[in-house]
Amino acid sequence: MRVVLASKSPRRKLFLEMLGLEFEVIPSRVDESSVEESDPVRLTRRLARLKAEDVARRAGGDAVVIGADTLVSFEGRVIGKARDKGDAIRILKGYSGREHEQITALCIINTRTGKVLEGHEVTRGLCREMSDEEIKAYVETGEPMEGAGAYTPRFHTRLFESIEGSWTNIVGLPMEKLVPMLGEVLTE
């Protein structure tokens, strides 16, 4: 059965390649800004499902479609991509010495059987204290504008003092959750 990743994320693609899976990429066309939900977990689960459903409709033939969505939650609020450098500095200063969560939801659809599996992973990260100079230097690299929460996985090793939960979730695809879900869907 074909496996389809409903994401153009190079990190998600790399994780599936590491599993040795043969798969194709069909990016979702879901307009994330059109989805309103204040609860971070419900929002990311809804977006993952919408992405998987969108690609399942377009994939054609029998396929197992993997939809995923990742967001950052800080003090109960969703932190999206930084609007500009000033916004990135503000976000990163807020994290300094404090904890926030990275949430990734998964939705896997078997188009042949109609089976849908959903789940999510929450990883809590305690950020180390960062100086204004360090934050400004990082923002100048342009990386904070690439992803939700104003940082990328390349920076997380310098950002976090400690994490509780899945490291692969921080990168955007919680393998501990994905592998058993795929096993269940692919053996049908």
Per the structure, how many domains does the chain have?
A: 1
Q: What is the CATH number of the domain that holds 93?
A: 3.90.950.10
Specify the pLDDT at position 54: 98
What residues are labeled active site? 69
Q: DSSP for 40-56? A: HHHHHHHHHHHHHHHHH
Specify the pLDDT at position 167: 87
Task: Give residue 163's domain range.
Answer: 2-186
Q: DSSP for 69-126? A: EEEEEETTEEE---SSHHHHHHHHHHHTTSEEEEEEEEEEEETTT--EEEEEEEEEEE
What are the backbone angles phi and psi of residue 74, rounded to the nearest 5°?
-135, 120
Q: Indicate the burial class of 128 (C-beta count within 10 angstroms; 0-12, 13-18, 19 or more).
A: middle
Specify the pLDDT at position 187: 82
Show pLDDT as tens, one digit a residue, over the chain (188 residues). Answer: 899 999 998 889 999 999 999 999 999 999 988 888 889 999 999 999 999 999 999 998 899 999 999 999 999 889 888 899 999 999 999 999 999 999 999 999 999 999 999 999 999 999 989 999 999 999 999 988 887 788 877 666 678 889 899 989 888 899 999 999 999 998 87
Q: What is the pTM of this model?
A: 0.89
Q: How many CB atoms lie within 10 A of CB 141?
A: 12
